Structure formats: C-alpha cells, structure tokens
C-alpha cells in the first residue's frame, strides 16, 4: 500500500523537496526553440519546478533563462523590452543580460549607480533537438546533456511539440508507462473493426499483456508481450529514461506498408505540483524523413487545437468534448484524439491522485518499477550521490516492436535493435 508520505515525496517538486532536489540534477526542457524564433524577439514566460522564469534570445542569438521579476521593485520582466543585448524592465529601465547581470540603471545617477551588485537567478541553457534545455542544479554536479537519438537526427526526421496538462507530473508519466490501456482507451467500436493497422489489431486480439521489466543504469527497458497463438508473440519494447522520459515503438503500420523506423515518446516536465508540460516527440532513425504534411495532420488529430499557452481546447473544463453517442457507437472513449484521451483519464484523477486508494495489478509492473527507482534516486541524491541517467548510457536506445516466434526471448532476439550502436554524431 502506498502511503501519503510516499505520495507527497514523489509528487512535490519545489526547491528543497526530495523530488525537487532530484529533478534539479537533470537537464529539463524549458521551452521549444520555436518559441524564441529570432534575436530580440519578445520574452517568454516559463515555469519550471514551481519557479517563475522568463526566457529571451538576445541580439547575438544567445538564450537566457532568468528570474521573472526585476530585482528593483519586483515587476515582471515578461513586460520587458528585449533590446540591444539584454532585457530591460519597463518600470524604471533596469537592464539584465542573459546571465542575469544588471548592466544598466538609467534611473540612477553615476554616483548612486550600483548595478554591479545586482544579480538575478539565471540558469544555464543548451539548445538542441528543437528544445531549449535548462539545468537548475549545482554547477559542480552538472550532468551530461540528454542527447537521445531523436535530438541528433536531422530536423527533417523529427517532430516535436508540447501540451499543457492539468495534473501532477507523476500520474501523467504513469499513464505513459501503462501499456495495457491501449487495448481499450484508444480503440474504436467494435474494437479493431475500422483499422488496417497491424499493431492495433494485435492489441485487440490480445488485451492482457504480460509485462516484463529489465532494469538498466538509466532506468529500465520493459516490454508488453501479447500472445497471438500460432503467429507468435507481439512484443512491444519501451524505454523509461529517468526521471520523466518514455519512448515507445511505432513501426508496425498498415498491412501494405514496409516496416517503418518511427519511434515516439514523451517527456512529462513538472511546471509545478499540479501542472505538467508534456513534450511529444516522433522521429525516424532510418534514411526516410518524416512527411511534414502527414506528420502535421497526424499530430493535429492526436493533440487537437491548442491555445497560445499550449493548453488543449478540449480540456477538463468542458469534459474534453466527450460525445456519448460516439462512445456508444464509434469509439471506446467518445473523446477525439489519442493524446486528449490520455490527458482526460489522467486529469480526471484530480490534481494529485491519492495513491493510498489504488489497487495495482500485474499490468502495473512498469509503474511500480518507476516509483521504486525514483524513491531510490531521491535517497541517493540526499546522500550526496549521483542518480541514474546523468551520463551518456542511454543515448542510443530505441523502442522496437516485433512479432516473435513462441518461446523466443525478446531480450535476446531484439537486443541489437533496442541497444544499437548509434551512427549519429
């Protein structure tokens, strides 16, 4: 039975909390590169781990991630003027560079100028894979950059977006780690009747997967194994990379298509205790790029319309536009869009789900494993050690799905594809 104390420790992310301290040992997605499209473009509000920040791209193209509030009187720098190498507060003109240093106090006379004594909180950032990443921990413990394969393929081979989710990061992550729900939540009615997608058909034919978890030095690789009778076993191998990454295979397409090299994934980044920014990634590791038009259409169906703050128009305030007639006759959920279906069930649990009331089963092995690894990592950080996935051990992992003959162990048959030698520099 999960206790309230355990639940609190895994879900609270403010500075000084066990999970907050653990999260600050990793590079964290702060925003999409496209949100800062040009030099001197308008500043962008960013909230990470409960901290209110503002991001800018200065005149030379450098990116800064600063405390949102001016050190003078606390005015929001989101209102500021991004100009000539820094962000200037509109209240009295104090100006800050990308490192948070005050470089100008035009309202002070030369004899009272004290700008050299003013320093805003500023976090190191790196830009790659279409994302601006931030590190919010101690400098001497800076981890390796999270250069997963999708960040190193050509831009033509990946699609990256994000959506706001109105619940705690952990229940969103756990929803992503759950492989059994795809046989239900995302199905049409009758299940599998209107699809030529082989993977969807397999999930309908075999609705109770056996879950196997293989621990690694970055988190774990796990598989959902679905028996298909004489055809063998449909095996879907995933990766959980601590603390908030998950990647799943997307290679078995329509019957008439050759095997794809597509992988999808998510990063569930805590905005604060009750809000999460979900980064959605799709990429191809093969030679064929993504079709931009097809990918945009695919993503639009999965995600739906978004507000400028990346919130879904179909949201908990309007019950995700659930249609009971459609639920009766066309789809299992009556909700449009895979990602909206996921967020609906996760947000319906409340801002932070009460795990003391749950009853887990065999299909929840990956969820249990993630909780145990996170608890162990928090203790490691408290003791002064390094948590998992702060090195480069996970850079080349791939999520793969296959149909294997009965009796063949997926860990052996798929090893070279799940852990390939990366060819990307």
Domain-wise residue ranges, the chain: 27-141, 149-418
Using the CB atoms, write b or e for 278-297: b if 16+ within 10 Å. Answer: bbbbbbbbeeeebeeeebee
209: its two tokens = 């997967």
How high is the pLDDT of residue 187?
A: 87
Q: How far is CA 342 from the centre of its chain?
A: 14
- Would you say 353 and 359 are in contact if contact means Cβ atoms under 8 Å apart? no
Beta strand pairing call for 233-241 and 245-249? antiparallel
Q: What are 123-174's pLDDT values in tens digits?
A: 999 999 999 999 999 999 999 999 999 999 999 999 999 999 999 999 999 9
Instruction: Report which of 283, 235, 194 is spatially closest to residue 405, judged by C-alpha positions.
Output: 235
211 touches 179 (CB < 8 A)? yes
Instruction: Say whether 149-418 and 27-141 share the same fold.
Output: no
Which residues of the chain are modeled with pLDDT < 50? 255-256, 422-425
CA atoms within 13 A on the CB side of 403: 15
φ, ψ dihedrals at 395, nearest 5°: -60, -35
pLDDT of residue 260: 86
- The rounded distance, in Å, linking the Cα atoms of 261 and 255 is 15
Q: Can you give the pLDDT at residue 329?
A: 92
Q: What are phi and psi of 28, to 5 degrees?
A: -125, 130
Query: Which residue, 247, 263, 336, 248, is CA-closest to 300?
Result: 336
Confidence (pLDDT) at 196: 64
Contact 67, 53 (CB under 8 A): yes
Asked if residue 165 lies in contact with residue 276, where contact means CB atoms within 8 angstroms, the answer is yes
**191 φ, ψ to 5°?**
-50, 125
- Measured CA angle at 247 (ends 244, 253), to 5 deg: 155
> Does domain 149-418 sit in CATH 3.40.50.1820?
no
Q: Looking at residue 256, what is its pLDDT?
A: 46
Tokens of 176: 């992503």
Is the preceding omega at residue 357 within 30 degrees of 0, hence cis? no
Joined tokens for residue 4: 């309230």
Give the model's pLDDT for residue 424.
39
- 132 contact partners, CB below 8 Å, separation of at least 6: 29, 30, 31, 32, 33, 35, 36, 55, 63, 65, 125, 126
- 3-state SS string over the chain? CCCHHHHHHHHCCCCCCHHHHHHCCCEEEEEEHHHCCCCCCCCEEEEECCEEEEEEECCCCCEEEEECECCCCCCEHHHCEEECCEEECCCCCCEECCCCEEEECCCCCHHHCCHHHCECCECCEEEECCEEEEECCCHHHCCCCCCCHHHHCCHHHEEEEEEEECCCHHHHHHHHHCCHHHHCCCCECCCCCCCCEHHHHHHHHCCCCEEEEEECCCEEEEEEEEECHHHCEEEEEEEEECCCEEEEECCCCECCCCCCCEEEEEEEEEEECCEEEEEEEEEECCCCCCCHHHHHHHHHHHHCCECCCCCECCCHHHHHHCCHHHHHHCECCCCCCHHHHHHHHHHCCCCCCCHHHCCCCHHHHHHHHHHHHHHHHHHHHHCCCCCCCCCCCCCCCCCEEEEECCCCCHHHHCHHHHCCCCCCC
Write down the CATH number for the domain with range 27-141. 2.102.10.10
pTM value is 0.95
């Amino acid at each position: 039975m999960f206790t309230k104390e355990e639940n609190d420790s895994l879900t609270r992310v403010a500075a000084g909390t066990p999970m907050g301290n653990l999260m600050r040992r990793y590079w964290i997605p702060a925003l999409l590169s496209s949100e800062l499209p040009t030099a001197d473009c308008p500043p962008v509000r960013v909230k990470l781990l409960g901290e209110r920040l503002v991001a800018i791209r200065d005149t030379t193209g450098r990116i800064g991630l600063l405390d949102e509030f001016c050190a003078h009187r606390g005015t929001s720098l989101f209102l500021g003027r991004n100009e000539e190498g820094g962000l200037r507060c509109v209240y009295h003109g104090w100006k800050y560079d990308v490192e948070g240093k005050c470089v100008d106090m035009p309202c002070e006379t030369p004899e009272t100028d004290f700008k050299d004594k003013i320093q805003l909180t500023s976090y190191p950032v790196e830009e790659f894979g279409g994302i601006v990443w931030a590190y919010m921990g101690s400098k001497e413990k800076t981890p390796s950059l999270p250069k997963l394969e999708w960040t190193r393929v050509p831009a033509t081979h990946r699609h990256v977006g994000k959506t706001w989710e109105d619940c705690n990061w952990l229940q969103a992550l756990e929803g992503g780690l759950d492989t059994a729900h795809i046989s239900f939540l995302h199905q049409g009615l009758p299940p599998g009747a209107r699809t030529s997608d082989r993977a969807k058909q397999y999930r309908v034919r075999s609705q109770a997967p056996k879950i196997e978890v293989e621990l690694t030095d970055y988190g774990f690789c796990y598989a959902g194994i679905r028996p298909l009778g004489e055809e063998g076993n449909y095996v879907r191998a995933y990766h959980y990379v601590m603390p908030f990454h998950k990647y799943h295979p997307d290679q078995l397409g329509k019957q008439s298509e050759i095997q794809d090299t597509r992988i999808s994934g998510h990063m569930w980044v805590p905005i604060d205790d009750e809000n999460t920014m979900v980064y959605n990634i799709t990429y191809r590791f093969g030679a064929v790029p993504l079709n931009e038009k097809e990918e945009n259409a695919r993503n639009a169906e999965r995600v739906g319309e978004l507000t400028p703050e990346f919130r879904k128009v179909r949201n908990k305030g309007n019950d995700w536009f659930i249609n009971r007639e459609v639920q009766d006759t066309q789809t299992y959920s009556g909700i449009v869009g895979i990602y909206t279906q996921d967020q609906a069930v996760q947000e319906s649990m409340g801002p932070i789900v009460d795990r003391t009331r749950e009853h887990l089963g065999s299909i929840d092995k990956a969820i249990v494993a993630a909780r145990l690894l996170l608890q162990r990592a928090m203790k490691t950080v408290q003791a002064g050690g390094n948590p998992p996935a702060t090195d480069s051990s996970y850079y080349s992992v791939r999520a793969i799905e296959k149909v294997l003959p009965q009796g063949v162990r997926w860990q052996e048959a798929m090893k070279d594809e799940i852990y390939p030698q990366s060819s990307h520099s």
